A and B are shown apart, each in its own frame.
Chain A
Amino acid sequence: MLLEFELNGKQTRVEAEPNLRVLDLLRDVLGLTGTKEGCGRGECGACTILLDGKAVNSCLLYAAKLQGRHVTTIEGLSGADEGAGGRGDQGDTPDLHPLQEAFLAEGAVQCGFCTPGMILSAKSLLDRNPDPDVREIEEALSGNLCRCTGYGKIVKAVQRAAERAPGSAKGEPHDER
């Protein structure tokens, strides 16, 4: 079927089987591999995308359901044009969303596999609740598993992004410690 939906702010038309998982539509058909498969059963959150602003597991979503909806993936968060291929120079990162900057600044990223889903769940929270308490952050991220970080810095990163702390430039040491 022909699907028409908004993807990362752009109207998108793509031909796909109606029961193709949105996870596969993104990764295999549209080449957006930022969304990950961790379990395929909706139990880990690595495949989290935003559907009309709400976090959902794209491994449990069939493509037909995207018709006329708004989809946000991790690629839609940073300022650089997707598919622009990057500017090559390591020092020139795309404009990062405050959540992305916060995750980096707080050391909330280790292997990075859970990170896209984690960031999108956090975005879904902050977009509707800009000043969450710790319980609300935990609840919002309760569907995203992480095995590397122990979650402490992830909570701090979300708090930092909520406070709109200025991101530190990449690689500069923190003197806070």
Chain B
Amino acid sequence: MNGEKLKLVGRGVAKVDGAELVTGRAKFAGDLRFPGMLYAAARRAGVAAGKIRSIDGSAASVLPGVRAVLTAGDIPGPNIIGILPPFDQPVLASEEVRYEGESLALVVAESREAARRAAAAVRVDIESWEPILDVDAALAEGCRKIHPQGNVTFSKRLIKGDVEKGFADAEVVVENTYHTSFQEHAYLEPETVVAVPGGDGRVTVYASCQSPFHIRGHIAANLNLPASRVKVIQAYTGGSFGGKDDVATEIGCLAAVAAVKLQAPVMIAHERGESMVGSNLRHAARIHYRTGSRRDGTIVAREAKIYLDGGAYASESPFVTMKALIHAGGPYHVPNVQVECTAVYTNKTYCGAFRGFGVPQVTFASESQIDELAAKLGMDPLELRRKNALRAGQENATGQVFEQSVGLVQTIERVADQAADRRDPVRRADADRSDAAEGRWLYGRGCACLLQGISNGAEGIDVVGASVQASQDGSVLVGVGLTDMGQGSRTVFAQIAAEVLGVTMDRITVRQVDTDSVHDSGPTVASRSTTVGGMAVYKAAGEVRSSLVKMASLMLKCEEKQVLLQDNFAVLASCAPRADNAEVRIALQEVCTAAYWTGFPLMHLAFSRAPDAQFDHETHQGNIYIAYNYGTHLMDVRIDTLTGAVEVLRHLAAHDLGRAINPLGVEGQVEGGALIGFGMAHLERIEHEGGRIQNANFADYAVPSIKDRLPTETIIVEDPNPTGPYGAKGVGEPPVAGTAAAFANAVAAATGIRFTRLPIRREDLLAALQGRNRGTAAESTPWQ
């Protein structure tokens, strides 16, 4: 693996599924058409909390085009979904409304319009309750219980060393409380599924999703069918970022129940408004932080208490809680760390997985505090980070030691080097046009360091199954249980298989994910596709390679170790590269055909299993992640004191990702993730009132447009990870955390004001700057 000259791994190749996407030929779930297909739409509660007295579909059912109105009683199985046990979310609610988007009935009709019109005509009688709107209310004594077990969804601790002792030894202590807001995924494709009943008693569900096996399991359970009777096929998925799995399960179940009942294909396609209200959000967080250090900047203790507002249902809250817990200490070597993280139920849209998964929230808090500590110490912020940065051989916050692939310091150095050419924040030439412009612009530089655990970690078994099949014509089919929703995993899998088998990219097909044909590999999350998925592909391809090499060695009459596979040929290693002699070079097509006729197996299923996390569940000390991605971000901003508008003049994003299998893909992941982090930090805020979202549309929820983009420069640091293919680690999530934290620090540097709430919007900046000028406290807009 190491040291070989690689032909495809490490090169920026174009996406294998690109042609069908640029031509519009790729079929997303909403593009599928089946004879007799019906459309279904849900009647949602529209109130944040209450007791359901009755649901009356009679008026709706007689509207033109309506075929059925389904309620909870029509679901054959337990009418329960969720990401983690105990599953606490109904598919169709019948007893209680816990958030405004609660689905109460499903109308199935001959057209989308008929379904929606009829859904609006379903009469519901709900006795409204006072909704529980924030963490403090939910935890207050005597508060109504949103779920039978109470309003705490999940609560855990991390304890390393002895923080009390640590703080006693500290010479400098900083303390602060930080808040982040709810963020919406805003993938361009709203959630969509199509369920098609087969004549054979099976049902096939095409879904825009990330975790087809998870969906299959719930659909089967709710249909009272064995899982093997349900097939879930991942359609081309128009972005997900963690946002589709809860809801793909919900509408997958709904569509399947309808399809089986009516014996017709049923499509459910969400509109944007219901997508925002009815699918999970990023947890809003309140984080109280304390950090203690010596005068020389050595951090000796960190303590954090985190509350996550998780909305109405558990979704991924337990895992987000754990991940926030584990990452709260930051990418530093700190002997004493104590973190408590609690996710809480409230009567709002439920929160779950969103690229970053708790790490962006704690990183913003942690890195803001590091800057505050640097200021108190009179130290350069990047120097303080470098001093405390985790290095190989050191214990991280969970007491885990990595001997390799801890490239944080390298990322700090690369960023420092690249930024050093302009010590002061970059200034625009046109900045000062007239006298009036004097003092109008504020410039600031901010940095942030982060770590992000790769793959499932403490969340359970971490296995991916991949199959590689060589055909007689020398072409190769790869099947992996992980999904590509745009992040380019299909392309990476193709590169790895092609590299191992010596096949050119055009001879590789990575098949669509279909639960019949690939191995359950868990969810495609946590930046695990390249690392764990890629490793499975690498192994499976390796098995097939060995069959081909054996066959080729017989044909070339040489030893196996003399056979090279490259460019669709099996070549005798000692010979000149372009020699065309049949004795030294045979087309792989011939080798494959011969291998088939000789009886060498041409298809293998291999597993990559990450070592199980082994840790103490009370203290979260132990070996949790197979690897961490480390990063350093630097951002230069210019703030217009007249309007609060921020321009990002520079953004450096360096990550140790082990090995870049596809550098072009890496840049895409970094640039895309960075902009999501920027949205979280500056532009995006879900506005709730009385538990109801007020800006469930793209006009009032400000997803960045092209004119808001960042000048992100991706810096790739490669400190190979022994558990990943070719040393790779994932990079999908880290840029989100790094960008948000760096932005907050840049704004603080520019204004001299520490904003402890995200997003820091134009209006927040203007209010704070003017408040300071007037000598009054900055007016802050209400959090929720």
Contacts and interface: CB of A to CB of B under 8 A. Distances in A.
Query: Do A and B touch (CB < 8 Å)?
Result: yes
Contacts of B674: 150
Contacts of B188: 36, 38, 44, 46, 111, 113-114, 145-148
A86 B25 contact: yes
Nearest to B112: A24
Contacts of A114: 188, 238
Contact of A33 (B13, B27, B238, B487): B27
A74 B24 contact: yes
Interface stretch (B15-23, B620-628, B761-769): B15-23
Given A34-B25, A147-B187, A90 B667 contact: no
Contacts, number: 214
A144 B698 CA distance: 11
A75 B23 contact: yes
9 contacts: A75-B23, A96-B22, A110-B672, A111-B21, A111-B239, A139-B707, A150-B673, A171-B504, A173-B12
B238 A112 contact: yes
Contact of B668 (A75, A107, A115): A107
Given A113-B187, A115-B21, A147-B703, 10 more contacts: A38-B698, A39-B272, A111-B239, A138-B706, A170-B506, A171-B16, A171-B506, A172-B505, A174-B12, A177-B12
A55 B146 CA distance: 48
Contacts of A170: 14, 18-19, 505-506
Residue of A39, A43, A119, A168 with most chain B CB atoms under a 10 A cut-off: A39
Interface string A141-173: 111111111111111000000000000101111
Contact of A149 (B12, B17, B671): B671
Interface in A42-84: 43-44, 46, 73-75, 77-78
Contacts of A116: 22, 24
A119 B698 CA distance: 20
A24 to B, nearest CB: 8
Contact of B23 (A31, A77, A168, A174): A77
Interface string B700-713: 00011111011110
A114 B710 CA distance: 19
B668 A153 contact: yes
Contact of B14 (A91, A104, A113, A141): A104
A47 to B, nearest CB: 11
Contacts of B15: 104, 107, 109
B189 interface: yes
B506 A91 contact: yes
Interface residues of B, number: 69
Contacts of A34: 23-25
Contacts of A13: none
A100 interface: yes
Contacts of B22: 74, 96, 100, 103-104, 109, 112, 115-116, 119
B19 A174 contact: no
Contacts of A152: 667, 671, 709-712
B18 A144 contact: no
B664 interface: yes
Contacts of A104: 14-15, 18-19, 22
B16 A113 contact: no
B488 interface: yes
Given A145-B703, A171-B14, A171-B16, A39 B23 contact: no
Interface residues of A, number: 66
B356 interface: no
Nearest to B9: A173
A110 B486 CA distance: 4
A82 B517 CA distance: 31
A150 B31 contact: no
Nearest to B190: A38
Interface of A: 27, 31-41, 43-44, 46, 73-75, 77-78, 86, 90-91, 93-94, 96, 100, 103-105, 107, 109-116, 119, 138-139, 141-155, 168, 170-177
Nearest to A31: B33
B727 interface: no
Contacts of A111: 21, 187-189, 236-239, 485-486
B697 A41 contact: yes
B601 interface: no
A150 B239 contact: no
Interface string B15-46: 11111111111111011010000000000000
A41 B699 contact: yes
Contacts of A93: 19
B306 interface: no
Given A36-B238, A104-B18, A111-B485, A177 B13 contact: no
Contacts of A144: 706
Contacts of B504: 171
Given A104-B18, A107-B14, A177-B11, A35 B675 contact: no
Given A142-B707, A147-B703, A152-B671, A112 B14 contact: no
A175 B664 CA distance: 11
Residue of B12, B22, B667 with most chain A CB atoms under a 10 A cut-off: B22
Contact of A107 (B26, B509, B665): B665
Contacts of B492: none
B18 A109 contact: yes
B323 interface: no
B185 interface: yes
Interface in B241-284: 241, 269, 271-272
A44 B188 CA distance: 8
Nearest to A169: B506
A147 B24 contact: no
Interface string B603-647: 000000000000000000000000000000000000000000000
Nearest to A112: B21
Residue of A105, A107, A146 with most chain B CB atoms under a 10 A cut-off: A107
Residue of B21, B23, B665, B676 with most chain A CB atoms under a 10 A cut-off: B23
B23 A74 contact: yes
A177 B186 CA distance: 31
Contacts of A149: 668, 671-672
B8 interface: yes
B663 interface: yes
Contacts of B509: 90
Nearest to B185: A147
Contacts of B21: 109, 111-112, 115
A33 B710 contact: no
B675 A150 contact: yes
B698 A43 contact: yes
